[in-house]
Amino acid sequence: MNLHEQKKHLRNDLKQRRSLVSADKRKQMSQQIITFLYQIDEFNLAKRLFCYISYLSEVETTDLIDAFLERSLSLSVPKIMSKSEMIAVQLKNLSDLEPDKMGILTPKSNQPTTGYFDVVITPGLGFTTTGERLGYGRGYYDRWFTNNQVGLKIGVAFELQIVDELPVEATDMALDMIVTEERIIDLRQQL
């Protein structure tokens, strides 16, 4: 199997594994992940955040997004523009969102947020304890990270998404931290 086939195979496996989590369990584990996020200084001090809007079996970010909007801080969420481009769009209000073709809540505006992001909360299908990430297969986050300035790249995942190793390419961007319902993995301490 070549690298792309390996990635594809793993994606299917991990997607299946994550889909078996019950809605209750997902909510509970997502809540614990959010509790851990609030233990991270950089996250608490963040004034400009980029965070995905959870969909189906992903770690749920709704509460986090609500809290950030309530505090009137700058929150941006992803918008897919083409087969290769994702942009961050600032969200002022939940009513600025509409479901896209897939049913994923997406900002109506096409205005990209520019400048520095203190923290980015990144989804994915698989992660390693060394910060490697397997996403959904379009390289959206890899490209976005190369084009934007970010203080701290945090991956959020359930423990069942942590694997021993992942096939990686030169374009795969590693994360600074991974937060699961069981632990905070800080890769910066290894420097």
Question: Which of the residues 92 through 151 are near Mg ion (CB under 5 A)?
Answer: 142
11 binds Mg ion (CB under 5 A): no
Q: In terms of CB distance, is 18 or 133 closer to Mg ion?
A: 133
Picked from ligand ATP, Mg ion, none, the partner binding residue 137 (CB below 5 to 8 A depending on kind) is ligand ATP
Binding letters toward ligand ATP, positions 154-183, x by CB under 6 A: ---------------x-xx-----------
118: enclosing H helix or E strand: strand 117-122
Q: Which two tokens stand for residue 60?
A: 């749920």
7: enclosing H helix or E strand: helix 3-19
DSSP state of 175: P
52 binds ligand ATP (CB under 6 A): no
**Given the structure tokens 């087969």, which residue do they identify?**
83
Q: In terms of CB distance, is 30 or 128 closer to Mg ion?
A: 128
Q: In terms of CB distance, is 63 or 169 closer to ligand ATP?
A: 169
Task: Report the nearest approach of ligand ATP to the CB of residue 135 (Å).
Answer: 2
DSSP state of 129: T
Whether residue 119 contacts residue 46, with contact meaning beta carbons closer than 8 Å, is answered with yes
Contacts of 41 (CB under 8 A, 6+ apart): none
Task: Report the nearest approach of Mg ion to the CB of residue 153 (Å).
Answer: 13
Cα(138)–Cα(67) distance, integer angstroms: 30
Q: In terms of CB distance, is 66 or 165 closer to ligand ATP?
A: 165
Which part of the chain contacts Mg ion (CB under 5 A), choosing from 7-15, 51-59, 164-172, 177-185?
Answer: 164-172
Q: Are strands 177-179 and 150-156 parallel, antiparallel or unpaired?
A: parallel
Residue least distant from ligand ATP (Cβ): 135
172 binds Mg ion (CB under 5 A): yes
Question: Which of the residues 88 through 147 are near ligand ATP (CB under 6 A)?
Answer: 134-143, 146
- Count of positions (residues) in the chain: 191
Contacts of 135 (CB under 8 A, 6+ apart): 123, 124, 125, 141, 142
Residues near ligand ATP (CB under 6 A) = 7, 134-143, 146, 169, 171-172
Residues near Mg ion (CB under 5 A) = 142, 172
